[in-house]
Structure 1
Amino acid sequence: MAGRFSKLTKIPTDPAAKLLALGNVTLDTPLDAPASASVEAVLTELDSKGAQVDLLRLLAIALPPRERVWWACLAARDIVGTGVENETPSLQAAEAWVFRPSDEARDVAIDSMEHADKNDLTVHCAMAVMYCDGTLGTGDMAQMPAPPGASSIAAFAMNIEAISTRTDDFDTYIQEVIDRAIDIGRGGNGKRKEKGESV
């Protein structure tokens, strides 16, 4: 659909190939676009080829850290439900970091992973926070590089986990997840059908 990926003001203007290389991510779909193609151009091509998983991979790489984590948190909410009573420590900590990013909030997110239940999928949100700036954390850990693209991979994984739970409306939900990222990439909050806090 024309213009679906336009006006992504939050997304870097670097070529998509550069962002993918920096994140150590390879797309499965062969591209016709040149190496200099923008994120918008590559997203448009992937969309035309029905390559939704690669679309999600690129969006996870292209979104800035806060926006990427928020995208993951929305997917986590789809699994656990809205409301304080449903949130996990990792989800709570990740959302708190989105609204007030700080080393302290990041440390809370990292700590939440260590005490999370082994079946808690929302740890992906906290992991996206942990690696948000390309390092292993705060303090001394800030001197140590994280695996390339680790934050993006965590956000991507959280969205894939949410998608895998939607057998009844699988195709529709994938498009919703993509549209959320687009809205966030334009400066929105990803909640296209409801009012909520902006990122």
Structure 2
Amino acid sequence: MTDLVKVQATTAQELLQDIEISEEGQPHLVLDTAPEISILRLMEAACYGDAVKLLARGLPKREAVWWACLCTRDIETPETDENNRKALMAAENWVKKPSEERRLICKQMGEATKFKTPASWAATAASWCHGSMAGPDEPVVEAPEHLYAHAVAGSVSLAAVMHDPVNPEQPFERYLQQGLNLARGGNGKAG
């Protein structure tokens, strides 16, 4: 039994079809049980990047992008440049009311920030949740169903490392608790 009510997958195996887990993380997976078991085991083993990937793939798209936004907002400073502020705001706005117009703004901001920051990846994650990845005059190219989770995982992991480049364990733990709170139906701010 699991209390991750937002995670629709019944086993970790279902989520692993679209993500790769490190060699260090592999022994901690329990494929035929609820994803929560594997996520918690990965956290206990300090395989934080793997736990982030698994949780990002398990969360619904809006919750996953919101998680990326929360982690990105945590590392924002007065020195954060305008494009990254706009990218984060675009992703937050998309979460509040997903629309094609807002998705396109996220796509534009992800490109403007060159896919190098947590804000850039949060905006990119939103832009990969629906709609075409191609330009406006090109044939429609739908994003693969799981692609948003890769951008979310990149955003969350990058935020943790940027928060504390020497010892990212504490931010990883806190961010994973936020993600688990979202998976339990919370707002992600607890933990």
TM-score normalised by the shorter chain: which range applies? 0.7 to 0.9
2:56 is matched with which residue?
60
Offset from partner CA, 1:124-170 (integer Å, 9 cap, x none): 01110111148527988794232563211111111111111214663
1:183 is matched with which residue?
181
Report if aligned partners of 1:130, 1:137 keep a CA contact under 8 Å in 2.
no
Determine helix, strand or coil for the equivalent of 2:93.
helix
Report if aligned partners of 1:128, 1:152 keep a CA contact under 8 Å in 2.
yes
State the superposition RMSD in angstroms.
3.0
2:20 is matched with which residue?
26
Letter aligned with residue 61 of structure 1: R
Once the two structures are TM-superposed, the CA of residue 34 in structure 1 deviates from its matched residue by: 5.2
Q: Does 1:127 align with 2:124?
A: yes
Report if aligned partners of 2:115, 2:121 keep a CA contact under 8 Å in 1.
no
Distance change in 2, residues 1:134/1:182 (3 Å): farther
2:13 is matched with which residue?
17
Letter aligned with residue 185 of structure 2: G
TM-score calculated relative to the size of structure 1:
0.78
Letter aligned with residue 192 of structure 1: A
Report if aligned partners of 1:68, 1:152 keep a CA contact under 8 Å in 2.
yes
In structure 2, the gaps of 5 or more residues are: none
* Paired-residue identity, %: 27
Q: Does 1:94 align with 2:91?
A: yes
In structure 1, the gaps of 5 or more residues are: 194-199
Report if aligned partners of 2:91, 2:126 keep a CA contact under 8 Å in 1.
yes
Once the two structures are TM-superposed, the CA of residue 75 in structure 1 deviates from its matched residue by: 1.4
Distance change in 2, residues 1:141/1:159 (3 Å): farther
Distance change in 2, residues 1:41/1:80 (3 Å): same
2:147 is matched with which residue?
150
1:75 is matched with which residue?
71
Higher mean alpha-carbon deviation, 113-122 vs 152-161, is at 113-122
Letter aligned with residue 156 of structure 2: N
